[in-house]
Structure 1
Amino acid sequence: MSAIQLLTDLQCNGLKWEGELGLSRKGGAGPSDHKALSLDGKTMMIPVLNLAAQDSPYTAKPALNSDKVTVFKNRIPVATLTIPARPRFYDLKTAEGIAYEQIATLHSHDVLATTVLQHCIRMNDKATACQFCSIDQSLIGGRTLIRKRPEQLAEVAKAAVELDGIKQMVITTGTPNTGDRGAKILCDSVKAIKAQVDLPIQVQCEPPDDFAWFQRLKDAGTVSIGMHLEAVSERVRQKIMPGKAEVSLEKYFSAFEAAVAVFGRGQVSTYILAGLGDTEPEIVEMTAKLTEIGVYPFVVPFVPIQGTPLEHHPKPDHAFMQSLYPKIGLQLKQHSLNSENTQAGCAKCGACSSLKAYE
């Protein structure tokens, strides 16, 4: 099994971790229930904390006083992975006594990430909530703030660049009850950060009512934007994310086209969670439409997160992902889209998916 096949298999099955050594993160922005691990110089986010990982054929045994982890499949050693070093900025606090890691966290090995607003208008109503979402978990656990102020983000970002060589930043947000869908909060945050440090930043939000926000975000210093579909068929959208499904696919595509006109081809992306129930043909048909208009479809295996309504949802099959990736990779090539040309964001990082290997 090649390194990329192993990492894909680990992302689908998860990794059962022996003991508590080396574990810390749960909930929050981006890949919840995951841990960053490196193999052959490539860092991937691997599920280790969810229920599915407890049934994985893969087991991790971390070495004492070392950054090495031996991975076993059915008790046979198959690889040695490396744990990225704990970032030095985690040791700092603001003048108010707030730990920097409550404001922003390390993803992969060189990406700073934060959820600027740890609340969403849909999260407390079963009739509207996205069933896969864990936005409130780190807040309930006291590991983050409900709202990160622009000056706090700027302070942490500057330290992360200077102390840990952070290369890019991703700022996402829960959806507020405003027509801008969080774009204003993101705009204010980017302005403050860029005033302190020259760091490529991607923002992520739902399509705002007024597409003029795209230019405002760019003028503030944003280099790329993510607006996430998550599911591609109306069937799955209505079942898994009924509130978000009220924002039509037509609205998303209008927003995608408007954003591409501002940020450029390849600087607009969307997250697609493979394994929610969309079929392979449905996903491939959607990614074909996206790549044609210059949107990078960041397709990742869905990871059921503990504590959410989908915690017992079946994990995607390794063969399903291995069949998907080459097809989407071909579409990316056909439309000259490459994650290396993306200035910031999830596609640029690539740690939650093996798609990069097929571009």
Structure 2
Amino acid sequence: MLDPAQLINELQTHGMRLVDPRAGQDSRRGGAGPSDHKAITIGARTVMIPVHTAPSFDSPYLVEAPDDTGAARVTRDGAEVAMVRFPTRAKFYQLSTADGIPYSHIAALHSRDVLATTVLQTCIRYESRKKTCQFCAIGQSLAAGRTIAHKTPAQLAEVAKAAVELDGVTHMVLTTGTPAGKDRGAKVLCDSAVAIKAAVNLPLQGQCEPPEDDAWHQRMFDAGIDTLGMHLEAVTPEVRQRIMPGKASVPLEKYFSSFEAAVKVFGRGQVSTYILAGLGDTREAILEMGEKLCAMGVYPFVVPFVPISGTPLESHPAPSAGFMASILRPLGQMIAEAGIRSADMKAGCGKCGACSALSSYEMLKLPQEIRA
């Protein structure tokens, strides 16, 4: 039997096939991410596993139909490798706003107790083929009518309060497509946070590109945002330019200066960045970046790239489980030694950890030769 970290890593890189299609009815397709995934619970941990991607259709991992208790066997070559559970459908999904918008169009339940929303479902990067991030599906759920373009502060506050009361949500992620202004989405995050915090005491993570003016970090914190995510996605200039030509116009130097300014406001371990392994960056480049970020107090949330249907990279291969393990094992040790473990984060993707096996590796004690 695989240990939990290995099993999660295997499932997230290979994906899984569902014997019973009904088990995937609450899976996420399109949108800002995690997309084309299904939440499953392994032991005490809920993780997101690809189920609607090209690799998952050929996955060696098969999930049988759940029994009457909601438990299901995961097999590989006919042999059981794990028992998993499918989380129940969120209760707040049954509700709608006074003007008839389903709550599920405003925010979604990620993992087991994390609420997430894309405040602006449009992005200046997505509007141009020459500028769009090649992995991004932010416009898909909007085009399919599963969400709305702009969630107002009042709508977000109403849904967040219901999600806490009905489903026990413990923290919330506010991400956004990048608007045209120099604040790069920070203002709409501030407006949203103020309304949510007035309605319910819920830890919040805001996610946006680095604002041009670092003063926005303090403004976001004062508005009620507890942690901040500014996502690199790729770590080397050549990969950034090839994969996300529009976003690459914000240089790495700007990210570093913004990270430094943000840590002074939010604190060590309360600023994070998303890195997609498998886009072309080498193991060495990702670990070198991880070491630099840990030293700054920025949590490097490394996740396996998932090719999303309908994007320019839908046929791009997912990284291998071995490649991911070669990164996550030493990176987990770096994070632990830097004292910025995901468990200590107040809110956000790193705290949730559902899209990567990284948090499982933070708890492992590794020999020096593996850490190098």
TM-score above 0.5: yes
1:236 alignment counterpart: 239
Report the secondary structure of 2:89's partner residue.
Answer: coil
Give the unaligned 5+ runs of structure 2. 363-372
Is the 1:116–1:172 Cα contact (8 Å) retained in structure 2? yes
Report the secondary structure of 1:194's partner residue.
Answer: helix
Separation (CA, whole Å) in 2 of partners of 1:336 and 1:251: 25
Determine whether 1:259 maps to 2:262. Answer: yes
1:353 to 351, 356, 359: 356
Output aligned runs, 1:85-96, within 5 Å. Answer: 85-96=88-99
1:52 to 49, 52, 55: 55
Report the secondary structure of 1:285's partner residue.
Answer: helix
1:344 alignment counterpart: 347
Give the AA of the match of 2:95.
L
1:318 alignment counterpart: 321
**Residues 148-195 of structure 1, C-alpha deviation per residue, up to 9 Å, x if partnerless?**
000000000000000111000000000001100010000000000000
Q: TM-score, normalised by structure 2?
A: 0.95
Post-superposition shift, 1:20?
Answer: 2.1
Post-superposition shift, 1:69?
Answer: 2.3
Question: Percent identity among equivalent residues?
Answer: 58
Determine whether 1:333 maps to 2:336. Answer: yes
**Residues 254-309 of structure 1, C-alpha deviation per residue, up to 9 Å, x if partnerless?**
00000001000000000000111100000000011101010000000111111111
Superposition RMSD in Å? 1.0
Give the AA of the match of 1:210.
D
Is the 2:4–2:360 Cα contact (8 Å) retained in structure 1? no
Output aligned runs, 1:182-193, within 5 Å. Answer: 182-193=185-196
Give the AA of the match of 2:72.
V
Separation (CA, whole Å) in 1 of partners of 2:312 and 2:80: 34
Report the secondary structure of 1:303's partner residue.
Answer: coil
Is the 2:278–2:319 Cα contact (8 Å) retained in structure 1? yes
Aligned length: 359
2:183 alignment counterpart: 180
Separation (CA, whole Å) in 1 of partners of 2:205 and 2:33: 13
1:21 alignment counterpart: 22
Is the 2:294–2:338 Cα contact (8 Å) retained in structure 1? yes
1:269 to 268, 272, 281: 272
Output aligned runs, 1:146-161, within 5 Å. Answer: 146-161=149-164
1:9 alignment counterpart: 10
Separation (CA, whole Å) in 2 of partners of 1:185 and 1:75: 50
Is the 1:71–1:79 Cα contact (8 Å) retained in structure 2? yes
1:122 alignment counterpart: 125
- Specify whether residues 150 and 27 from structure 1 end up closer, same or farther in structure 2 by C-alpha distance, changes over 3 A only: same
Is the 1:171–1:202 Cα contact (8 Å) retained in structure 2? yes
- Specify whether residues 140 and 65 from structure 1 end up closer, same or farther in structure 2 by C-alpha distance, changes over 3 A only: farther
Is the 1:29–1:113 Cα contact (8 Å) retained in structure 2? no
Post-superposition shift, 1:246?
Answer: 0.7
Separation (CA, whole Å) in 2 of partners of 1:61 and 1:136: 32
Determine whether 1:41 maps to 2:44. Answer: yes
Structure 1: which 4+ aligned runs deviate by more than 4 Å? none
Report the secondary structure of 1:147's partner residue.
Answer: coil
Separation (CA, whole Å) in 1 of partners of 2:333 and 2:292: 13
Determine whether 1:164 maps to 2:167. Answer: yes
1:197 alignment counterpart: 200
Output aligned runs, 1:217-232, within 5 Å. Answer: 217-232=220-235
Separation (CA, whole Å) in 2 of partners of 1:22 and 1:149: 32
Is the 2:5–2:361 Cα contact (8 Å) retained in structure 1? no
Give the unaligned 5+ runs of structure 1. none
**Residues 64-114 of structure 1, C-alpha deviation per residue, up to 9 Å, x if partnerless?**
654222212123332221011111101001000110000000000000000
